[in-house]
């Protein structure tokens, strides 16, 4: 097999972005995508599917004819191991020889194995969502273990569906970390409790008996649906010689320590120079960026993911949020503007805009993203107000409304 056979393991955002970029960079090459899921879909809108805002068709990431148009080969199956010496990917029933390989195999949810939780569900992929959707139509009382972003998103979707008895058990003393800080969490918790959601904070499951959770605090909660949302961990096929920590360790061009083997997305970790430690990748946008960088490196081109400001915008509970740059931190000046329906926090450090957390009202978010790291002329509480005119400050081409 020639070196122009690009093999991608994984059909998520990292794998798909890499495949698309590869096709742009090399019109002739053979590109194969190995996946155990049928098609590329938007994981991040599973909650909207559960709450029936979206249809299955809408979640689909590309059209039926897309793979054909892009001339991608599809291989369905589970990858058992990778043999980097012979450049082979081993599936159950076949071996695929690669020229360059991208591992974008994603992550898998953590699970608590307590007696009594055998029929509990997780919330990660399409099958999980389908199961939740099916069970939820018959259930009245839900318990969600884990008050992270995903757990909150699910709670929001179920609340939108009109399920009244939802409880969240969270080991920390506030929900939504590390996206939220204490003050933002207090705001959200008030809203959630207002919607009738029960929050057990600084608490965890002690034991479960017959669809009844007994918490460490002594509180109990009966449930007919139990969903675990206690984080994810990277998953990747066994690969001799591959340098891994919690995930596959890559550099900012998505290269691993092995020649011709690249990795991108949730299965990886990347060294954070500031924090001086390896950090796993969990964000959709980062997955896309790493996939793109990988495609460049695989074709002998160069695209470095220098450290653009962090940007993540999606749903937390039922609210839209944007998390930009570094809004939380002990130092610098923090400004908060809040109403019943919105929470906005702006952080300025050394006279420069360090970060923003916008929930419920995200006015100016793209202009704020553009302004991260730039000098803020006017340092005052007005910065946090939605009326603050960021466009005048950022002066960039690339702002929210293009002016």
Which positions lie near another protein, rule CB under 8 A? 13, 17, 20, 41-45, 48, 53-54, 57-63, 65-66, 69-70, 284-285, 288-289, 292, 311, 313-315, 320, 322, 362-363, 365-366, 369, 391, 395, 397-398, 400-403
Q: How far apart are CA 305 and CA 268, in angstroms?
A: 14
Bond from prior residue into 57 cis (ω within 30 degrees of 0):
no
Residue 30 or 62: the one with the smaller Cβ distance to another protein is: 62
Residue 302 or 403: the one with the smaller Cβ distance to another protein is: 403
Residue 255 or 289: the one with the smaller Cβ distance to another protein is: 289
Q: How far is the CB of 40 from another protein (least distance, A)?
A: 9
Residue 133 or 320: the one with the smaller Cβ distance to another protein is: 320
Residue 72 or 174: the one with the smaller Cβ distance to another protein is: 72
Q: How far apart are CA 399 and CA 366, in angstroms?
A: 5
Sheet architecture: strand order including 248-250:
248-250, 268-272, 277-280
Report yes or no: 137 and 43 within 8 Å, Cβ to Cβ: no
Residue 60 or 198: the one with the smaller Cβ distance to another protein is: 60
Q: How far is the CB of 155 from another protein (least distance, A)?
A: 16
Report yes or no: 346 and 332 within 8 Å, Cβ to Cβ: no
CA distances (Å), 16 to each of 41, 55, 140, 263, in order? 10, 21, 38, 13
Q: How far is the CB of 24 from another protein (least distance, A)?
A: 9
Q: Kind of pairing, strands 30-35 and 72-76? A: parallel
List the structure tokens of 10. Answer: 């994984």
Q: How far is the CB of 387 from another protein (least distance, A)?
A: 8
Residue 255 or 362: the one with the smaller Cβ distance to another protein is: 362
Q: How far is the CB of 258 from another protein (least distance, A)?
A: 26
List the structure tokens of 76. Answer: 């369905």
Q: How far is the CB of 56 from another protein (least distance, A)?
A: 11
Q: How many CA atoms lie within 13 A of 316 on its CB side?
A: 28
Q: How far is the CB of 305 from another protein (least distance, A)?
A: 12
Residue 188 or 208: the one with the smaller Cβ distance to another protein is: 188
Q: How far is the CB of 45 from another protein (least distance, A)?
A: 5
What is the length of the chain?
Answer: 403
Residue 205: name the closest of 274, 266, 115 by CA.
Answer: 115
Residue 383: name the closest of 342, 313, 336 by CA.
Answer: 336
Which residues sit opposite 359 in a β-bridge?
A: 321, 343
Residue 43 or 328: the one with the smaller Cβ distance to another protein is: 43
Q: How far apart are CA 155 and CA 151, in angstroms?
A: 6
Q: How far is the CB of 36 from another protein (least distance, A)?
A: 20
CA distances (Å), 34 to each of 74, 265, 290, in order? 6, 15, 18
How many Cβ atoms from other residues are within 10 Å of residue 55's Cβ? 10
Report yes or no: 266 and 284 within 8 Å, Cβ to Cβ: no
List the structure tokens of 169. Answer: 């058990």
């Amino acid at each position: 097999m020639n070196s122009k056979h690009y093999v991608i393991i994984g059909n998520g955002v990292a794998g798909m972005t890499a495949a698309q970029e590869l096709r742009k960079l090399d019109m002739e090459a053979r590109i194969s995508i190995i996946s155990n899921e049928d098609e590329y879909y938007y994981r991040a809108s599973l909650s909207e599917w559960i709450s029936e805002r979206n249809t299955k068709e809408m979640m689909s990431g590309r059209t039926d004819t897309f793979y054909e148009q892009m001339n991608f080969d599809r291989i369905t199956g589970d990858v058992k191991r990778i043999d980097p010496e012979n450049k082979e990917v081993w599936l159950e029933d076949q071996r695929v020889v690669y020229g360059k390989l991208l591992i974008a195999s994603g992550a898998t949810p953590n699970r608590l194995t307590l007696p009594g939780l055998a029929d509990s569900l997780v919330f990660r992929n399409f099958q999980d969502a389908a199961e939740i959707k099916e069970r939820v139509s018959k259930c009245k009382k839900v318990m969600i273990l884990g008050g992270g972003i995903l757990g909150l998103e699910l709670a929001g979707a179920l609340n939108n569906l009109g399920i009244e008895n939802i409880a969240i058990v969270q080991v920390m003393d506030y929900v939504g970390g590390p996206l939220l800080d204490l003050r933002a969490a207090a705001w959200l918790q008030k809203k959630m409790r207002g919607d009738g959601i029960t929050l057990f904070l600084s608490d965890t499951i002690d034991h479960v008996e017959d669809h009844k959770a007994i918490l460490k605090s002594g509180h109990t909660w009966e449930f007919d649906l139990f969903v675990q949302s206690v984080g994810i961990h990277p998953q990747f096929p066994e690969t001799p010689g591959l340098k891994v920590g919690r995930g596959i360790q890559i550099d900012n061009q998505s290269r691993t320590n092995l020649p011709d083997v690249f990795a991108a997305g949730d299965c990886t970790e990347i060294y954070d120079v500031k924090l001086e430690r390896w950090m796993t990748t969990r964000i959709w946008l980062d997955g896309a960026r790493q996939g793109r960088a990988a495609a460049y490196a695989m074709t002998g081109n160069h695209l470095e993911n220098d450290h653009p400001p962090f940007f993540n915008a999606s749903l937390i509970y039922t609210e839209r949020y944007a998390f930009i740059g570094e809004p939380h931190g002990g130092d610098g000046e923090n400004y908060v503007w809040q109403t019943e329906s919105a929470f906005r926090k702006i952080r300025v450090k050394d006279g420069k805009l360090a970060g923003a957390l916008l929930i419920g009202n995200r006015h100016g978010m793209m202009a704020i993203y553009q302004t991260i790291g730039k000098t803020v002329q006017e340092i005052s509480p007005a910065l946090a107000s939605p009326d603050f005119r960021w466009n005048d400050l950022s002066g960039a081409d690339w702002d929210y409304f293009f002016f």
